[in-house]
Each structure stands twice: as structure tokens, then as C-alpha cells.
Amino acid sequence: MKIYHAPNTRSVRIVWLCEELGLDYELEMFKLGDACMRDPEYLKIHPMARVPALADGDVRIFESGAIVEYILAKHGNGRMRPGEDSPEFPTYLQWLHYAEGMLMPHVNILVVETILLPEDRRNPVNIDRSKKQLTRMLGAVDQALEGREFLAGEFSGADIMSGHAATVSARLGGDISDKPNVAAYIKRLNERPGLIKAFAT
């Protein structure tokens, strides 16, 4: 498998997943904003000129959540994903999709407003609103983690998705000072060798 990857992006999730599963992979490295990401050949792989994307034999797929589901279905051998008859399966689906549906839209706003835009073009109203929304949405994660280490029973693809999103949310200003379960969860995830390697790649 080939992972199209740039540091400090959602493609960290795919590297992390492959490390957790012990899968062999090759990295095609980019930096955000690389002109080569807009080359016609790469646009055939990812039409939005972004990462991650995955090449697996004849398969080409992009969108981090879809890639996580694909890898677990094709190469997971039942690992990191509760069976469809498990009582944890609906919970797993919920948190697998919570990352992109709830957390990452506000992460995106904060990245644009606090990193990508020059200071004179930043909108403090957008920044404040997104930090408040992230804080609120991390509250739901904190509740879900009460009495458990991971979001859907055992460590799973839901943690790859929403665990990564929670980590980034806290780094960008989501307040976890009153969310001990989230704080402990982020610490626990960030101590996993697979995530350490993915963040360093």
C-alpha cells in the first residue's frame, strides 16, 4: 500500500492505523502547499489536491474516514473494529464519524484563522466561536469516556479518527481543563508507539 502523506494533516491517521495493524506501507511525502499536489497525475488520485490518499493495488481512495474503513475491512482481519452483531458496533460507527462531522470543521476554521491567514485578515469572532464549539464537542467525548479507556470498547478505528481529532482540537484551543477523561485519553493515545511514529513522520 502507498499512503500519500503530509506531516500534521489527517494522513497521520492512516500512518497510525497501519502501524497499529502492523501493515507494510510506502509513503509518498508532500508538504502542504506543494505545487506537485496540483499536478494532473496527482489530481487523478485526489481531485482536491489534498492528503491523505491511498493506493492499494488497483484501488485508489481518498478521505481519511473512508480509508480507515477500507483498510480495516480489507486488511484488518477483524481487528480494531467490533463485529456488526456487537453491542459496541453502533457506538463505533458514531465515534468513527464524529471526528469529521463535529470536531474537524472547527479545527479547519482555527487552522485557517490562526495559522494560514496573515494576522491582519484573521477574524477573532470566528476564532472564539470555533474554540467554544470545540470545547462543547469535546464535552461529549468526555462523557463517552466515563468509565472506559476507549470510545467503543477496545481500541478501534473510532479512536484513530476521533482520538486524533480530539488531540488536534485540544492543541488548537479546545478547553479540556474540566474534562479529565479527554485529557487522560489524549495522553494515553499519544503514548502509543504507532501514534508517536505517525506524528514524527
Q: What domains are defined for the chain?
A: 2-75 (3.40.30.10), 89-193 (1.20.1050.10)
52, with CB counted inside 10 A (0-12, 13-18, 19+), is: buried
pLDDT tens digits for range 75-119: 999 999 999 999 999 999 999 999 999 999 999 999 999 998 999
Nearest to 45 by CA among 124, 26, 37: 37
Strand order in the sheet with 26-29: 26-29, 2-5, 53-56, 59-62
Q: Which SS3 state, helix, strand or coil, does residue 193 take?
A: helix
pTM: predicted TM-score of the whole model, two decimal places: 0.95
pLDDT tens digits for range 26-83: 999 999 878 999 999 999 999 999 999 999 999 999 999 999 999 999 999 999 999 9
Whole-number pLDDT of residue 32: 82
6, 101, 144, 194 from 88: Cα distances, Å: 32, 20, 12, 24
Secondary structure E strands in the chain: 2-5, 26-29, 53-56, 59-62
Cβ atoms within 10 Å, residue 29? 13
